[in-house]
Amino acid sequence: MARSVGIIGAAFFGAVIGFIGVMLHNAFQPFGIVIALLTTGVGISFAGQLFGGRSFKVIAALAWLAVALRAGSYGLSHEILIISNSYGNIFLLTGLLVGAFAAIRKN
């Protein structure tokens, strides 16, 4: 029971981190991208400390990736949250690297 709560919590936490990053990456240029990437790295590392293991960091990173990929694709009304400019590309590529590094790193 406690493990399933941790899995759901880590997935929700990762989705919230992804949402915050998506909203901040193109705001307050150039500081928004830095804040978004710092939030990604610190948040995924914190998920492992909060829920107690590296597997929960991986789950949070996968939830972040799902939110970022969905925000980077067209919606029903052809809206897109991560546009293909330099800030959007930096956020997707560097955010993926920061998230992967934070997930596989030891505490």
pLDDT at 61: 95
pLDDT at 8: 93
Residue 75 has pLDDT above 90, yes or no: no
**Dihedral of CA 58/97/19/33: which sign?**
positive
Q: Would you kindly state where each structural domain of the chain is located, as residue ranges?
A: 2-104
Range 42-50, long-range pairs (CB < 8 A, 24+ positions): 42/102, 43/13, 43/14, 43/16, 43/17, 44/14, 44/17, 44/99, 44/102, 44/103, 45/102, 45/105, 45/107, 47/10, 47/13, 47/14, 47/17, 48/103, 48/107, 49/107, 50/9, 50/13
Q: What angle do CA 25, 28, 34 make, to 5 degrees?
A: 50
pLDDT at 6: 87
Total-model pTM: 0.91
In this prediction, residues 44-51 reach a mean pLDDT of 91
Please state, rounded to an integer, the average pLDDT across all residues of the chain: 90
At 82, is the pLDDT very low, low, confident or very high (cuts 50, 70, 90)?
confident
